[in-house]
Structure formats: structure tokens, C-alpha cells
Amino acid sequence: MNHIKRGTALLLALFLTIQLSTGALAAEPAAPADSSLEAAALAAAQGAMTYGGADSVQYALWQDGALRLTGSCGVYSRTENRALTDEILYGIGSVSKIYTTVAVLQLAERHRLSLDAPVTRYLKDFTMADPRYRQITVRMLLNHSSGLMGSSFTSAMLFDDTNSYATDTLLRQLSTQRLKADPGAYSVYCNDGFTLAQLVVEAVSGMDFMSYVDACILRPAGLDATYGPDGSFDPSLLAKTYHGADPRALPRECLNLAGAGGMVASAGDLAAFGGALTGTALLQPASLKAMAASEYARGLWPETDAPDALSYGLGWDSVAWFPFSQSGIQALVKGGDTMYYHAGLVVLPEYRMAAAVLSSGGVSTYNEMAASRMLAEALKAQGVTLDETVPQLPEAAPAPMPAELMKNAGYYGSTSAQYQVELTADGILTLGLLTLPDLPAQTFRYCADGTFRDAAGQTAVTFVQESNGQTYLYQQGIGQLPGLGALPAANYAAVKLPENPVSPDVQAGWDRILSSTFLPLDETYSSQLYLVAAQGDAAGQSLPRFAPGYAGPCRIVDEHTARYELQLPGTGGRDGQDLRVYEEGNATYLESNGARYLEAADVPALYTGAGWSYSTVPADGSARWYQTGSAAGRSMTVLLPEDAGFWVYDAAGQVTASSVLWNDTSAVLPAGGFVVFAGDPAARFHLQFR
């Protein structure tokens, strides 16, 4: 979990948007492409850029051993007159997971490890506060079914800092966590599984992860524009990134979890890597087949033939991507999102094709759809007919609702959103999104096929009683974006929350916690989280509501503890977190999976005595937060110690000065704002005010 304010971070709302969210094969120069394909590729890239609000998009199409076309649109920089070229690099985020998967499968081919052996066989120091961790296998890391909470990202996403703390301390962070599900029960997106897989690769191979990737993946595939987070490349080659409308470029983004999401590449190199997975340059046919198998079906998953944007393989987000699956063509897809970069890779093994779309800003889903458009046009040029008919829900007339369905009324939840479902005897379902209460509730009518349909007949919801005893809200529908195509949804969007009566005092205490702002204490000074750490909710926005007895998605145990217990496959159940509230001194703290946060209201005022004063990082390395208080309007000069930094925020939580972002050494302190100093233990900041 990152910054906590007013419950959990609100991601993508149900029914509101489709953004849910043999031999070496070198990246040869692009072969001449016909003008219609080039025009279609550019149009698709421009569509992804426009819908996602990206600053730039770079794309490449690989076919039969060479790049067929490459291109870019947008701007390299908002202020520099520099052309976008094929050499520009982008963070590829979670597409890095495919490199990790290939590394694991290579070692399995050499009989150095077994996919179905426990992780503890290879990581002797791996332990958790839950005995079930011994059941986690290597395969479960790659198909997201390990049962791990999700993302231990403390000090992982940094600015211009390749500190490997997050990877180096993962085993320590996991040692105090429990599992949220039985290993193998179902697949739910999990970053920590791939960082563990990275550690497995290192333990088994005896090599640093990126050294292994370079020697066994990049060089054999002839890829020379792909790097790890600490790779030795010219940082000016990275496409510039920005925060909001600010024209000042941000420092280099470093996501220091290489195996889960930290790699950077050009679109040409990424497309060529995808192309290498259509032949045997990197993996044997049996391993390629294993990667593309329906791993999601090993555990709990909706039993449906309806297309969905998610169908996990080993590493892949989808092994049955629409619209190719509709024509009997397998398309393998992986998306990746960091804070500022976004990536999509689509591979057609049967046709030896791959397309990659990368962007600065934007959304990975749009990049994946753009890559699909490029491949569809390339197939068309080969005379391959692709059925791109948008599937429609079968017609169903309104009908009387069986009385027994009334028991499904109540509260439902995912990690990022909670819903209230109301039912009437005449078959009207009202769905309210508690976490975005300003949005109007949606209504659905019961139909003869057992579904509830919206007024337009484009979305259907159903209650499913699963074998694990849980009741799921199953959604089916499809979203369309002109120029990019359609994206289907057929998944469990939420699970029914069991009634959990708590005393009014306990509920009131958690309601207060969920309506407060909490500030991170354990992030290193260069953390990207400081850019948004003090932001409050928009003025005039209603406070989110939560199900009685719950703190966001977590079941309230008592006034101090709330546990994450959702059993939800897919992405709705990703990144769980147990919460603990405690008092220390005169302050309230919130702990989530070991990371600590301080309530903003308890932050002390900044002392501004005559002459020089100072602030010292305590022995436990906690960040030092201050309210500007009576210092507002004064100029603060800071003498920085080594490996440390400071950030200044106004009353709205916007950063007004930062040694990390803009090399500031002084700042005028805003009224009602905050200042944070962070660095190594005992680091001392000398301060002067005037």
C-alpha cells in the first residue's frame, strides 16, 4: 500500500470505464511497410495517446524475424525541441514479468529447478507468519496463485535512485505477513510473486538477476536496447515524464524491482523480444506451450465462454485475447504500468508476429488495444480474415425474479471499491458504489435468462454461488473505443461481504481513521510517493462510505485491527492489506503490512527559532513530518546531509519545493502546508528561516 487517505486508493469503478484499470532473433531495422499498415499503426498509436492523455507513444511491429515497422507520436519533452526516435527508451513496468518467466523456464529446462517444487527449496530464508507459505510453488509465483497479499513496495518506486532496498528486504517484509488465500486456490494479480521468482533465479543460477537476463535472454535474442533499473544507459534516452500539467520534467523514474516491473526498453526491442517467443531462440516448444496454457483455470474462476480481458498464463495477463480468440488465433498479452510509463505487448505465436506500444503517461490497456490494431492490420495484409464482430449479450426479456434471489442483497467488495446491492421483489437491482458516493446508483432489471440487465441491455450482472461458499457479483459486458476496438469483461467484480456487527464506538473509530490523511514514514527520501503523499480529496467531494463492520475491504476485528479476507480472483482482489491502528505518545499511527503511517493531524509544527535549527532523522529511519504552522510565509534554507532530501507541500498537498525534484535548497513555506525531511538514520538537516 502507498499513501493512505480516506480508506483505500480508488482505482477503476465497476461499469464506469473499460480502463479496468531457430537462432538469434535480432531487432533488425524495420523492413519497408506498406503505407496502409503504416497509417493504421500511426492512427492506433494516436488513439492510445489521446484516450490515455499520454505525452508520447512509441510503437513497433515485428514479423518473421525482423521489425516490419516502427514509429512514434507525441513529444519527447514539453519544453525541449528534440525528436522522438526509435532509440528513445520507456519503462515497461510489469511486462518485465515475461522476462522473469522466461528465466525461470530456462532454468527448469536445464533441470536446475522444478515449477511444482516449493519455493522454500530454493529460498532457504523464505518464511512467513502463516504456515501455508510452505505450500507455495514456483509455478504459483508465475500464475499469480501464491496467496501472497500482493505488493511489498516500500521504497521501491524512486526518482533517480537505483537503491535496491525493496528487493533486498522482500524476504524480511514477507516474514511478518500472512497469506490472504490458500496457495493455488485462485489466481489474483501479485507483484511480490515475481520478485520472489527473481530471487529464485538468482539463488539457482548464482547470478545477479539482470546479469542472468543479459547473458541468457537479451544477448541470445540480439536485444541491445533493454535494461534493468540500474542499467548503464544514457538517461537522456528516457522519454520525459511529468506530474499533471507541470511543464517541468520529473527526474528519471526507477522502479527497483526488476523482475516484477523495473525494466526499460525501446518498443523495437520489446517487440523483438515478443517475436523471440514465437520460436525457439529462448525456450523450447514445450516451455512456450506451458507459458501459453490456461493457468487461471487451475483455481477458482468464472465458468463462462464469454470473452474477458484477463486469462492468466505463466507470466501472461491473457492467453485468449479478444478479438483474435474469436477467430481461433491465440494472442498472448502483457501490460505494464509504472507511475509514469505504460506498456503493452501482444504476441501471435502462430503467425510469428508481435507488437509493442510504449508511452510516457497514458494507460497500458489502451497500448495493448493499439498493438492489437496493428497486428489485425498486418494479418489483413496477409489475407487473414479476422472476425472483429463485437459480441453482444443474447436477448433476454424481463421476467419475474425468483424470491430466493432476495438473499443476495447486501454489501459487496473488491480491494478498491465497495458496493451496496439492493433488490426489490419485482426484480429491480440497484447497485450503489459506496467508495464514490457522488456517482448515481445504477439499476438493472431481472431477465428470463437469470441475469440482471441495464437499461441499454449492454451490461449483465449475475449472482454466482461458488464452490468455496462465497457469493460473487459476476459482470459481463463490453466497452468500445472508436479507433482502438472493443474490450470485453466477463469476471467476478466483487464478493459478498459477510455481516460483521461491531459496536458503534468501534465503527466510529474506524470511520474517523478512514476519513483522515495518513503520511508515510518508511519511504526513502527519493520515493515517488512523496509527490502525492500529502494530497487530500478534492474540495466538495463526498466522503466514501463503507460496509458496516468494514474498514474499506478489511473486516474490522476490534478498535485496533482490520483483516483483509476477500477471496476474489482476477484483479479485484489484488494488493490486500491488514491494518493496525495504534497510539504512541500523542499521535495515531496506521500500519499496513509492516509499513507505517502517521496521522496528519498529529504532525508537530515546524520550529523556527533564531539562527540555525535542525531536524534529525531518528535511529529507525522514520521520515520527519512537520506542519508549517506559524512558519508560513517565511523562507526556509536547508543544508542537506548526504543521501537525504526534503519536500514542501501547500494546504492542498501539492508539492511547492523539493530537493529531489528540482534540487531546491530553499523554499517559502505555504500556509496550512507540510514539510518532510527523510534520509538515512541520524541524518541531520540544518535549517535557517527568514
Round to whole Å and give the CA distance between 45 and 33: 16
Quick one: which of 467, 433, 685 has its CA closest to 569?
467
Quick one: which of 103, 112, 303, 345 has its CA closest to 210?
103
What is the overall mean pLDDT for the chain? Answer: 93
Return the pLDDT at 31. Answer: 53
Question: Would the pLDDT of 685 be above 70?
Answer: yes
Return the pLDDT at 538. Answer: 54
Do 536 and 555 reside in the same domain of the chain? yes
Higher-scoring residue by pLDDT: 242, 534 = 242
Q: What is the pLDDT of residues 70-115, one digit of tens each?
A: 999 999 999 999 999 999 999 999 999 999 999 999 999 999 999 9
Q: Contact at 8 Å (CB) between 165 and 524?
A: yes
Do 411 and 367 reside in the same domain of the chain? no
In a domain, 398, yes or no: no
The C-alpha angle 293, 297, 301, rounded to 5 degrees, equals 145
Question: What's the CATH number where 129 sits?
Answer: 3.40.710.10
Q: What is the pLDDT of residues 363-415, one digit of tens each?
A: 999 999 999 999 999 999 999 989 999 988 999 999 999 999 999 999 999 99
The verdict on pTM exceeding 0.85 is: yes
Those residues with Cβ within 8 angstroms of residue 478's Cβ, 6 or more apart along the chain or in another chain: 390, 391, 458, 486, 487, 488, 489
- Domain end position, chosen among 430, 464, 496: 496
Question: Would the pLDDT of 3 be above 60?
Answer: no
pLDDT band at 9 (very low <50, low <70, confident <90, very high): very low
Residue 242 burial (10 A CB sphere; 0-12, 13-18, 19+): middle
Do 561 and 676 reside in the same domain of the chain? yes
Do 294 and 410 reside in the same domain of the chain? no
191's grid cell = 507483484
Return the pLDDT at 5. Answer: 34
H or E element: which one contains 174? helix 170-174
Round to whole Å and give the CA distance between 214 and 203: 17
- Evaluated on CA atoms 138, 266, 571, 154, the torsion sign reads positive
- Cα distance between the two ends of the chain: 38
Do 149 and 212 reside in the same domain of the chain? yes
Return the pLDDT at 22. Answer: 27
Return the pLDDT at 4. Answer: 34
- H helices of 454-580, where? 504-514
Round to whole Å and give the CA distance between 649 and 262: 28
Backbone φ and ψ of 12, nearest 5°: -110, 125
In a domain, 12, yes or no: no
Do 362 and 258 reside in the same domain of the chain? yes
- Domain end position, chosen among 496, 531, 565: 496
Q: What is the pLDDT of residues 271-287, one digit of tens each?
A: 999 999 999 999 999 99
Out of 140-149, 200-209, 269-278, 540-549, least confident range: 540-549
Do 479 and 619 reside in the same domain of the chain? no
pLDDT band at 40 (very low <50, low <70, confident <90, very high): very high
Round to whole Å and give the CA distance between 46 and 55: 11
Do 345 and 424 reside in the same domain of the chain? no
Return the pLDDT at 33. Answer: 58
Do 188 and 43 reside in the same domain of the chain? yes
Return the pLDDT at 286. Answer: 98
- Domain end position, chosen among 469, 496, 523: 496
Return the pLDDT at 431. Answer: 97
> How many residues are listed for the chain in this entry?
690
Question: Would the pLDDT of 58 be above 90?
Answer: yes
Q: Contact at 8 Å (CB) between 419 and 544?
A: no
How are beta strands 550-551 and 554-556 bridged, if at all?
A: antiparallel
Out of 26-30, 557-561, 612-616, 626-630, least confident range: 26-30
In a domain, 1, yes or no: no
Do 490 and 508 reside in the same domain of the chain? no
In a domain, 397, yes or no: no
In a domain, 28, yes or no: no
Question: Would the pLDDT of 29 be above 60?
Answer: no
Do 279 and 216 reside in the same domain of the chain? yes
Mean of the pLDDT values across residues 536-555?
82
Farthest CA pair distance, the chain:
79
Question: What's the CATH number where 437 sits?
Answer: 2.40.128
Question: Would the pLDDT of 8 be above 80?
Answer: no
| Sheet with strand 90-91: strands edge to edge | 90-91, 264-265, 226-227
271's grid cell = 517487440
pLDDT band at 30 (very low <50, low <70, confident <90, very high): low
As for how many domains the chain has, the answer is 3
Return the pLDDT at 24. Answer: 36
In a domain, 29, yes or no: no
Q: What is the pLDDT of residues 202-244, one digit of tens each?
A: 999 999 999 999 999 999 999 999 999 999 999 999 999 999 9
* Boundaries of domain holding 57: 35-381
Mean of the pLDDT values across residues 282-302?
98
Do 162 and 229 reside in the same domain of the chain? yes
Round to whole Å and give the CA distance between 656 and 639: 18
In a domain, 591, yes or no: yes
Mean of the pLDDT values across residues 661-679?
97
Quick one: which of 117, 96, 105 has its CA closest to 289?
105
pLDDT band at 611 (very low <50, low <70, confident <90, very high): confident
Return the pLDDT at 14. Answer: 31
In a domain, 247, yes or no: yes
